[in-house]
Chain A
């Protein structure tokens, strides 16, 4: 009962651009774990459309570390691949941990990291980690290649800067953005599997002795897009690692989050969690250090 009018399998980026030019309404599909769900739910942009399959395009595959230490992650990597990849585990373990918490085994085998980001859900599990690593998104389109910081990639819930025919090809993380950092991610959800976060928080922290040298925090589901916490992050720099500092970091996060009340949770409860999760994440990250 999917209202999908046609399916094209592209084997190169050039083919994607051609197909998209011929049918601007057509939608790219990678693992399909968001696309088919939305089509079933009759979300207008996913109904009565053709799909362009991209999973066989070579440029979107692979995980490599360049000579300068930049980690390159192809958009088509599935959650399972990312979770177990030795380079990811070595350099960006926070990302490995985060994607291990996605859905269930089926979804982790089918879903891709590119799809997760392009779907632009506020609670996407790979997003907070990618935000804290200051990840760059490489986009290719008929007009060439663009590199965009992930924080500029989102326009709102379910909306990105991608134009029809443009493909998110790879993620890039510079060595300076992961070296000496320790990370931890909390997915606060009602279930331990097969759930979407009510609130999520990634922390990436660098310490010197008992002092915080650098802190990056990103919340999922605390606003229309994943959100970094500039106020708390700048406060933390140079502060001693004490309970009081952690509590203050949590409090300051409220200046950058935009929690709302809906039938799932109240704003008051979400705000309370906002104050709790960063401290817990920082502690957990450093426990693993």
Chain B
């Protein structure tokens, strides 16, 4: 088929103008008659049991309509994780929560709810509910929760909810054979998604007596199922609509408030009720990135051969299972995807604790494991006196490597190109020299450069189901309505998907009409926005539907003009002769005929649904340059570049946006972010002043390059890009700091105090702490 070149163009987002003009409606923007407001009563302890509630004062607050306690709602246990349903009960996510609970497992747990006429009345009522608790010991870390005498956080299961090991070869032998063994303990913090739009959902009983939930969700179809399960409703009695979304980053790949919103509406006889979390609630009481601790042993020979890697992983799950072990258990495959080694043992445990429930967050475990891996890899290069880039070039997996751990052949795996082209574009050698010269001045600051590499899967195969559907409707004027279940959450999916449809159909980008709303009643099934999957998985569905549609249009033209279909092509909305490019007819004329021709009118709809059983591995690296203040420990990020092997770039403008946003997120991860708890499990910094997201003033100009190829499997030569940018900036920054000051710090974030302390500790004579 002829290339129409809409793929690869920096088309503007179809929704850009609506957003600039303020026309884009987000969940909270829809005017709803007689809207009531629901608020959640959050526990003020981290572990215990509610022995009594006194709601007498709260009930008196004017405007309060109903106060819900756990026993007022269904006690059906469900899981909030945004995974496709599994027909095999054993493989389902752990179902360990009810909408409201007396069993408090995290600070802020949902122990009651108020429905009122105004948000203020609901808030005032909350402050008047008196709660008494039995308190239990609080476990903040996996180690505490794994202690022999630790209480079970969920009676029905051990605090260690999963324990797995993957690998190959004999690690002990490998460590014996090594010239050097590096042994490191590394720690990553609880990172927060901090999406611009907090979680918000409005639920009401619709005319047909079913429940509609308008929600800011990444996963409308999964959300419908979970809302129904939690409320004990048939799935079809729930309809989820997703309008524009102000970001999610994985937090909205969990179904947090929607079941309760529907339960509240039910409790009010179907009246509309909205739950609109505050920033403080969204930060502390929804989902987080798992804090993971790594105990790593790496064996390396003087020539740079990696003889063994033993990685013991403790993943802090928080109070509820959510995505659970899918995250902590994931690293082995991608370590194997990235580096050659003689033996690997990746042992992972995921453990309940009493901090906020960890769930999906952009990168899904990879930012953690890549941090641990790339710190140790970098230190190994130092140990044997090899250049860190050369060490990675020597050890990376080749293109075409067959990954036994995921049964995936890594076709078109371009990490080698990234490691060559990246440093050149970054002017690595020049920066090394500049840093040396700068450091010779012996001023109060030091400069250094660092690198880190990563690998990343596209979607979840072979671990998860990968289905997607698309529908194209030819409209009377020759434009097309594109309907997909894949979810636009601000990342630009709808624009990229429209480009694909236009490209395959042979029509201008503007001929594709998308919808601001994804509706589970009318849109095809797709599991949603996560796992960097949509451009890939939904891409196949769109290609299928567009090819079908194209065929139908050509068939009509063939019948109308008595020309064989294979002699025709669609180019820019025109149907032309393949041999000489002469115009035969237009898509518009065929569309008109399909609606109104007296004899032949028959409208055209093309449907597709795909189930994808392949995965294309992406890769890349980050290069960082920093300046460290020796007296204060403050780090200044001087430059940061990401290099991506993500196949064909569908839309370079959107791709750059994704990459730069991800780099900022990971720079924050490395330097400043982390939810902090006191010893009672109370979050200390769940607001945007104290949770230190980077501002533009904290970031240098961000640079990115793409090692662009055409992936042989991807529907348009593309593979994952959405999450990839968050994998390697943090370790690259850490390695740059090490390069600057000679001390490798293994716990992020690298706050001024922690850097200063590490510098002091390194100065102290050996044996003195």
Residue ranges of A at the interface with B (Cβ–Cβ < 8 Å): 1-3, 42, 104, 188, 190-196, 263-266, 269, 272-273, 276
In the complex the two chains form, what is the Cα distance from A169 to B388 in whole Å?
A: 62
Smallest distance from the beta carbon of A199 to chain B beta carbons, Å?
10
Give the docked Cα–Cα distance between A195 and B694 (Å): 10
Q: For window 687-745 of chain B, which residues contact chain A by CB distance below 8 Å?
A: 688-690, 692, 694-698
Q: Is B339 an interface residue (CB 8 A)?
A: no
Q: State whether B695 touches A193 (Cβ < 8 A).
A: yes
Q: Which of A3, A42, A190, A193 contacts B752 (CB 8 A)?
A: A190
Interface of A is mostly: loop
CB within 8 A of B689: which of A2, A188, A196, A266?
A196
Chain A contacts of B406 at CB under 8 A?
A: none
Q: How far is the CA of A1 from the CA of B116 in the complex (A)?
A: 13
Tell me whether A191 and B695 are in contact (CB under 8 A).
Answer: yes
CB-CB nearest in chain B for A266: B753
Contact A194 B695 (CB under 8 A): yes
CB of B695 within 8 A of CB of A190, answer no
Residue B127 lies at the interface, judged by CB distance under 8 Å to chain A: yes
- Chain A residues, Cβ within 8 Å of B634: 188
A191/B672 contact (C-beta < 8 A), A1-B120, A3-B120, A263-B685 known:
yes
Q: How far is the CA of A104 from the CA of B693 in the complex (A)?
A: 14
Task: Jot down 5 A-B pairs with beta carbons below 8 A, ordered by A.
Answer: A42-B127, A190-B692, A194-B688, A263-B685, A272-B756
Whether the Cβ atoms of B678 and A263 lie closer than 8 Å is yes
Q: How far is the CB of B210 from chain A (nearest CB, A)?
A: 31
| Complex-state Cα separation, A54 to B503, whole angstroms | 60
Instruction: Collect the chain A residues with CB atoms within 8 Å of residue B631's CB.
Output: 276
Give the contacting residue for A190; candidates B123, B678, B751, B757; CB below 8 A.
Answer: B751
Q: Is B439 an interface residue (CB 8 A)?
A: no
Q: What is the CA–CA distance of A263 and B684 in the complex, to the nearest angstrom?
A: 8
For chain B, the count of residues having a C-beta within 8 Å of the partner chain is: 28
Q: What's the Cα separation between A182 and B348 when bound, in Å?
A: 59
Complex-state Cα separation, A264 to B632, whole angstroms: 15
B residues with a Cβ closer than 8 A to A are 119-120, 123-124, 127, 278, 631-632, 634, 672, 676, 678, 684-685, 688-690, 692, 694-698, 751-753, 756-757
Q: Distance (Å) between the CB of A271 and the closest chain B CB?
A: 12
Contacts of A264 in B (CB 8 A): 690
Query: Which residues does chain B contribute within 8 Å of A269, judged by CB atoms?
Result: 752-753, 756-757
Query: What's the least CB distance linking A106 to chain B, in Å?
Result: 12
Which B residues lie within 8 Å of A104 (CB)? 695
From known contacts A191-B672, A193-B697, infer whether A1 and B119 are also in contact, taking CB-CB under 8 Å: yes
Closest to A275 in B: B631
The chain A residue sitting closest to B757, CB to CB, is: A269
Bound complex: CA of A263 vs CA of B631, how far in Å? 21
Q: For the complex, what is the distance from the CA of A1 to the CA of B696, rounded to whole Å? A: 30
Bound-state Cα–Cα, A241 to B119, Å: 60
- Whether B753 lies near A191 (C-beta < 8 A) is no
Q: Decide if A191 touches B684 in the complex (CB within 8 Å).
A: no
CA distance A206 to B175 in the complex (A): 64
Give chain A nearest CB distance to B189 CB in angstroms.
Answer: 13
The 9 closest A-B pairs by CB, nearest first: A192-B697, A193-B697, A269-B753, A193-B695, A1-B119, A263-B684, A190-B692, A276-B631, A1-B120
The answer to whether A188 touches B697, judged by C-beta atoms less than 8 angstroms apart, is no
A42 and B752 CA atoms in complex are apart in Å by 32
Give chain A nearest CB distance to B28 CB in angstroms: 13
> Nearest residue in B to A40 (C-beta to C-beta)?
B278
B259 to chain A, nearest CB (A): 23
Structural contact, B632 and A3, CB atoms closer than 8 A? no
A254 and B648 alpha carbons, distance in the complex (Å): 60
Instruction: Please give the distance in Å from A189's CB to the nearest CB on chain B.
Output: 9
A188 pairs with B698, CB closer than 8 A: no
CA distance A265 to B754 in the complex (A): 10
A263–B675 Cα distance when bound, in Å, is: 11
Of all chain A residues, the one with the shortest Cβ separation from B631 is A276
Residues of A within 8 A of B756 (CB): 269, 272
Q: How near does chain B come to A262, taking the closest CB pair, in angstroms?
A: 9
A188, B753: Cα distance in complex, Å:
12
Q: With CB as the reference atom, state the residue of chain A lying closest to B276.
A: A1
